[in-house]
Amino acid sequence: MEEFGFENSTFWNTLFISTSQQGSRSMLNRMEMLRVFLVAVEAPSFREAAHRLGTSPQKVTRAIKELERTFAEPLFHRSTRQATLTAFGAEIAQQARETLNQFDRLFVSHSKPKSAEIVGRVGITAPHAIGKLYMAEFLKPLMQQHPGLRIELNLDDQLTDAVLSRIDIGVRIGAVRDRRFIARAVAQVPLKIVAAPALIAAVGAPSSMEALKPLPLSVLIDRNNGRPWPWFFSDGESYLPPSPAFSCDDPETELEFVLAGLAFAQMPHYLAEPHLSDGLLVEVLADCAPPTVDLIVYRTQSGPVPPRVRLVYDHLIACLSDKASFPKSSRENG
């Protein structure tokens, strides 16, 4: 995968050469290994990490082992079935994310291509809620700085046909399986069960999944097939309310009904968080929440890309990986 240097076979030939042999290239190779490590942390297995990176599990394992040799500490506890992060590995992962995010933001904020060069169309696809709530704010500075930049935004909660829709960049929740794409996980998306304080005062806060089921619940309809999305819980459990109090195919409309105190709903943190922080929503059954899912930013071109696409791609990665801007806080909405 080109984003991590995997399309260049020289990367894997030089990645594991000793520091004394690499000289000035050692820092670059260490940063690439940290990127591999972070994908392995976010993926459920080394095999899945390799799939996301477009390489083999052996090469991912090799990168992890080299980092462990460098730090002289294990990063994962390994068994025949799985690898779990050690306490030291979790500490390194947190520091690596902060370091690499700062590194990426440095190049985005200080790269100054000539405005005359940043012209033309960039096709972007994103989920409806993210597109409506965040894209204008994120893209405004780029479009002001580069008046010749033309953005075409396609809102779709499913993976969009990149060819038919002329997509250059995509934002997606969950895995992007197309190996032709250059994909990067930039954030984790928790799902939260929420309700308005007035509804909780009226019907009580559920203490279990069984106590939740008789309460007024909302479901979101999949626009592509007309079917309701089930609610997801820990340990792989799911529940589809048979007679929901409210259903619709728009996440923001569902949010308005929940804020009005008409139903409980399960929604991603980027929708719920601003209202949780200002007390308009309350989270319930937090201990039953399902595992977080990746927020992915991807490019549809694996080779050299136009400067306008690279600029927008790097900028969206920086914005969506910045916890100060995604999700929004109530102060930002205020």
What average pLDDT does range 70-84 have in this prediction? 84
Per-residue pLDDT of 160-177, as tens digits, reads 555 556 889 999 998 777
Of 95-104, 112-121, 215-224, the least confident: 112-121
Query: What token pair was written down for 299?
Result: 């490019």
pLDDT value at 279 more than 90: yes
8 A C-beta contact, residue 143 and residue 151: yes
**Which residue intervals of the chain are DSSP H helices?**
9-14, 19-22, 26-42, 46-53, 57-71, 87-110, 128-130, 136-145, 197-203, 209-212, 251-259, 269-277, 307-320, 330-333
What average pLDDT does range 106-130 have in this prediction? 75
Q: Nearest 5 degrees, angle CA 26-CA 28-CA 31? A: 110
Order of all β-strands in the sheet with 169-173: 149-155, 120-126, 169-173, 293-299, 182-189
Handedness of CA 193, 196, 197, 200 (dihedral sign): negative
- CA distances to 38, 173, 251, 273 from 127, in Å: 24, 8, 10, 17
DSSP 278-311: TTS-EEE-GGGPPPPEEEEEEES--S---HHHHH
Per-residue pLDDT of 15-29, as tens digits, reads 333 334 444 445 557
What average pLDDT does range 92-107 have in this prediction? 80
Q: What is the pLDDT of residue 16?
A: 39
Per-residue pLDDT of 243-273, as tens digits, reads 999 999 999 999 999 999 999 999 999 999 9
What is the C-alpha separation between 22 and 14, in angstroms, rounded? 8
3-class DSSP assignment, residue 214: coil
pLDDT value at 294 more than 80: yes
What is the C-alpha separation between 283 and 287, in angstroms, rounded? 10
**Could you check whether the bond before residue 327 is cis, i.e. omega within 30 degrees of 0?**
yes
Q: What is the pLDDT of residue 96?
A: 87
Nearest CA to 293 out of 49, 101, 42, 35 is that of 42
pLDDT value at 114 more than 60: no
Q: What is the pLDDT of residue 154?
A: 92
The pTM for the full model equals: 0.63
pLDDT value at 108 more than 90: no
pLDDT value at 288 more than 70: yes
DSSP 8-state secondary structure symbol assigned to residue 234: G
Query: What token pair was written down for 288?
Result: 């039953």
3-class DSSP assignment, residue 66: helix
Q: Residue 44 class from Cβ within 10 Å (0-12 exposed, 13-18 middle, 19+ buried)?
A: exposed
